[in-house]
Amino acid sequence: WRWGFVVYRTVYTPESDAIWPAAIAKLEAYLFREIDRDLFWQPPSSWIWKEPINPTANAAVQSHMRNLYLSDQEQYDALGIDAVRERFIELTQSWDRKDDHDGSTGLKWEFCLLIDEDVLRSLIDAPEPVAQNSVSDKEVAENKVGNPGYIKVIDRSFDTTEEPASRDRNDYPGWMKASLDCLWMLYDITEMELE
């Protein structure tokens, strides 16, 4: 089995080529750290169950993560958000016609991730993720851990032809910036909702 995100790269410069591997490594390190978050959760003192959580399942989830990185400069260089959405819709429609043995099962199809120049810089500038057990709640509250950076998330179902006034939220542009700290939670979302 496989799980992961579809990630589009839309920036192609000599500098971006040099830092791309480090950016992807950091993106995945944040994701893995979030998967391990439950290992450091402490039950309330009133709970009877006090056993530590077995990390075997977390390791299995991490080992099956396979993001699909679409990084063909000829196809994706300098594409904007709406163009990436269209490419993503085309991809989801073409993969819908394939059988389930091609490795697509488990990829997140409700939205895709976008790494443009701003996101690439955010990834590189983000601090290295630290293990959840080495950061106190107070440090997080006081923002001493540092900004984890962000990635752009594009909603596949957003209708660009619909008039903003007729949408549920006319200020929603069909995409958002998501903190690297919430990627694992994003995988569980079945549709993008704003409240």
* Whether the predicted pLDDT of 65 surpasses 80: yes
> Is 192 within the bounds of a domain?
no
pLDDT computed for residue 194 by the predictor: 46
Query: Please, are residues 127 and 145 in contact by the beta-carbon 8 Å criterion?
Result: yes
Could you give the CA distance from residue 194 to residue 18 in angstroms, rounded to a whole number?
36
> Is 153 within the bounds of a domain?
yes
Could you give the CA distance from residue 144 to residue 101 in angstroms, rounded to a whole number?
45
> Is 195 within the bounds of a domain?
no
Read off the DSSP letter of residue 179.
Answer: E
Query: Please, are residues 34 and 184 in contact by the beta-carbon 8 Å criterion?
Result: yes
pLDDT exceeding 90 applies to what percent of the chain? 49
* Whether the predicted pLDDT of 102 surpasses 50: yes
Mean pLDDT, the chain, whole residue set? 84
User: Structural domain of residue 142, as residue ranges?
Assistant: 6-42+52-187
* Whether the predicted pLDDT of 119 surpasses 60: yes
> Is 161 within the bounds of a domain?
yes
> Is 194 within the bounds of a domain?
no
> Is 116 within the bounds of a domain?
yes
Number of compact structural domains in the chain: 1
> Is 24 within the bounds of a domain?
yes
pLDDT tens column, 130-181:
865 555 555 544 545 567 899 999 999 998 888 766 666 667 899 999 999 9
> Is 149 within the bounds of a domain?
yes
pLDDT exceeding 70 applies to what percent of the chain? 75
